[in-house]
Every structure is written in structure tokens, then in C-alpha cells.
Structure 1
Amino acid sequence: MTRFVLASASPARLGVLRAAGVEPIVRVSGVDEDALTASLGNLPSPEEVVVTLARAKAEAVLSEFDDAVVVGCDSMLSIADALQGKPHTVEVARKRWSTMAGRSGDLLTGHAVVRVKSGAVVAVAAACSSTTVYFAEPSASDLDAYLASGEPLEVAGAFTLDGLGGWFVDRIEGDPSSVIGIGLPLVRRLLNEVGVSMSDVWSASAGQ
């Protein structure tokens, strides 16, 4: 049995995994996403940014485990030639929605899977999933109410698919679980790359 570690504080990611039969060990990485992004400089692509952040989150908690598979994720919205992470404030979220409303953007989620055995890293697999999100144009009163809820302030792109923000997403093209924060199809493929099957993960969750 292989312990599955989620290096994230996201309740949405935890919810996706639990609904899919995985009860992960949760460890919050503590990675400063904004500072790390700023330190990266001019990387070749937005996809590399989110994958780098995801790997940093996974690596930040590795020392706690002797035998486990550790998964880190990071999401950003690519729209209008810019990457958008968590807005943190109502003012920033409102400005982002002025750009997003009535347009589409690509929700990029970086995933990193690290296999640890006997306290040593034996395999790493990482990749990015991209899903196109088509946004509605919320009325001024609806946007005010949404921003006042606090939900969009600490999520990538200032919206959710599985919460209040779902009312303002007209459609998506791609993997919905990736938009929520952790793409199940991609994680399955990355687990296979590091030698871990879903049956291993399910068995470990059942045994906890």
C-alpha cells in the first residue's frame, strides 16, 4: 500500500480526491506562491510556471515521509496574455472580473507527483493540464454579492467551478476536475509514470 500525500491546503482538491475514493494525508506546503513566481523571471511558458510551483509544493513536504507518493498542484488562469493567481483582495478580484466577463481563458493546473522510498526520492513526474473556461457577464449586483462572499479571493483566477462561481461559468472545454484544482486523469497518468497504480492508492486509503 502506498500512502498518498496531498501537499495542499485546498479543500476543493481534498474534496475531489475523497469523491474519487482517495483519503490523502494532507500537508500544507507553506510555499509563497507569489514570491516564487516573481523569482522565476522570464520562463518559456505559463505552463512551466504552474508546474514549477506544483513541484515546489510537493518537495516542501517530502522530508516528513519515508514511503509515500506526494502530489503538489498549482492553478492559474491565463487570460488576456497574463497569468492570474489568487487575487487576495476584493479590489483585485473586481479588476480581474472586468477582464474575464464575457471572455474565455485557459485554466492551467500544474501537477507534480514525487515517489519517496526509504526517505529518498526515486521518481518524479510532472505536467500541466489546460482547460478553456468561458465566463458569463454577471450583473453589477451579482458581482458585488459574489465578491462580498469572499469565495473568489483565495482561488486561482478569482472564480470557482464547484461553488458560487459556477453560476458565472457558461461552459468549459476540458477536464472539470482540473479546473477545481486537481485533474484526476492527469494525476492517474503521472502516478503510473512513477510506478503507482490506482489500486495501490485505493488500497492505502481503505487501510487508513
Structure 2
Amino acid sequence: MRFVLASASPARLAVLRAAGVDPDVVVSGVDEDAITASLPDPAPAELVTALARAKADEVAARLADGGDSDGDTDTVVVGCDSMLSIGGEVVGKPGTADVARTRWKAMAGGTGELLTGHAVVRLRGGAPGAVVDRAARVDRAEGTQVTTVRFSTPSDEELDAYLATGEPLAVAGAFTLDGLGGWFVEGVDGDPSSVIGISLPLTRRLLAEVGVGVAALWGSRGTE
């Protein structure tokens, strides 16, 4: 069984490696803005799941079409996408220090919901499996994990220093739990691994839906 992570996120990769899985990394080429624009007023969970699905499907199709999947070996592709919901507004990566500062001013001392969409695609013998009756065998599975994050209030000096590192500019919600941003998180209510970028409990359940036991992946190594 080959395990492929359809994400460039070092945090997601670190979570999986710490949990005993060392996947191949194949970054998707999907246009996230185009996908978002194509959805008419999506609910937050619908949006992150659609983006995760697009990433997993694009990588799976590329592996199958390009012959990168061994014809005798099944491959599992996992795609994820995270966004933070604050007061009903869903935000992704801020991109600039000014946007990140505005978001921190809004969420400091309060809470937000971190949503991470997950999609799993199993390529059976090198080809994308067809979706079949869920009572029988499912080759695609997806879901969203929602975790409440409780934020502290960094001082102006702390926030300036944090923004200067560049870390919050490239992560959903302008914070990390496993990096420098962890200093400003009071706690989480729910799954902490999902806040980092990939929910281990949800991923295990989705893998089971496509017939893959997570223990079979422990100790696996990618084929770099």
C-alpha cells in the first residue's frame, strides 16, 4: 500500500510521520480560488471539503494517468484543506502582515472554529476506484473535522514579533498550534491534530471506509 499526501504542508507531513507513516508528497495543482468561486455561497464545511476533494482527485488522476502508481500496488491519496471561522466569516491564509494583524486583532481573547476538510481516494491496482454502494466497498471518502480554538491576547510587541517571522502569513487563520503561534493559543476543544492540519482520528475513519486499516501503514516509507 502506497500512501500519498496531496499537500505541501510540512505540518501535515510532520503529524503523519510522528504517527508512524512517512508518505510520498505530491502537491496538487488545483486552482483553489477558482474552486471557491464555483461554489454558490458554500457552508464552511462544504468549502473545505470541496477543496480537499479537488486536491486528492487531481493528484490521484495524475498518478494514474502518468503511470506513477504501480499496477500491482494499491495507492491511497489524502488531500486536506483548512480554514478558520471567526464570527461566521471563513478565512484562509492571510498572505500579508496587514491582513494577519487584522485577523489577530479580531480573534485575540476569543475563540474560532478551525475546519479541516479531508478527502481520501484509493487507487486499486493503479486506477481510481469507482464510488460504489457504501454498504459494500467505498473507494472515495471525505469528511470535515471542526475544532474550537481558544486564543490568548498577545501584546502589541509580541504580535509585531510574530508577524515579522512570516509564519502566520502562510497558514490558515494566521496561527499555528505546533509552531510559534502556540504561545498565543490558550487551548483547543476537540482534535489538536486537525488544528495542525490533518486529523488523525478522522483520517483513520476515512481510510477504513476505503478498506485500509491504519496499522498497515505504520512504518511505511515513501519512494522518493
Give the shorter-chain TM-score range.
Answer: over 0.9
| Contact 2:94-2:170 within 8 A present in 1 as well | yes
Q: CA deviation at 1:99?
A: 0.9
Letter in 2 for 1:36: I
What TM-score results when the alignment is normalised by the length of structure 2? 0.88
* Alpha-carbon distance in 2 for matches of 1:56, 1:32: 9
| Contact 1:80-1:99 within 8 A present in 2 as well | no
- The correspondence of residues 11-22 of structure 1 with structure 2, limited to 5 A, is 11-22=10-21
1:157 aligns with 2:155: no
State the identity as a percent.
64
CA gap of 1:35–1:91, structure 2 versus 1, over 3 A, is farther
Q: RMSD of the TM alignment (CA)? A: 1.5
* Alpha-carbon distance in 1 for matches of 2:33, 2:175: 18
| Contact 2:24-2:222 within 8 A present in 1 as well | no
Larger Rg: 2
Count of residues in correspondence between the two structures: 206
**Map of 1:55 onto structure 2:** 53
Q: Where in structure 2 are there 5+ consecutive unaligned residues?
A: 130-138
- The correspondence of residues 3-82 of structure 1 with structure 2, limited to 5 A, is 3-43=2-42, 45-62=43-60, 63-65=62-64, 66=69, 67-82=74-89
Q: Deviations over 1:112-144 (max 9, x none)?
A: 000001332221000000000011111111001
Deviates more, 1:59-68 or 1:89-98: 59-68
**Map of 2:136 onto structure 1:** none
**Map of 2:161 onto structure 1:** 145
Q: CA deviation at 1:107?
A: 0.2
1:97 aligns with 2:104: yes
Q: CA deviation at 1:206?
A: 8.8
Letter in 1 for 2:31: D
| Contact 1:175-1:183 within 8 A present in 2 as well | yes
Q: CA deviation at 1:32?
A: 2.7
Letter in 2 for 1:118: G
Letter in 2 for 1:50: V
* Alpha-carbon distance in 1 for matches of 2:127, 2:25: 20
Q: Deviations over 1:52-85 (max 9, x none)?
A: 0001011111121433000000000011110010
**Map of 1:83 onto structure 2:** 90
Secondary structure of the 1:200 match is helix
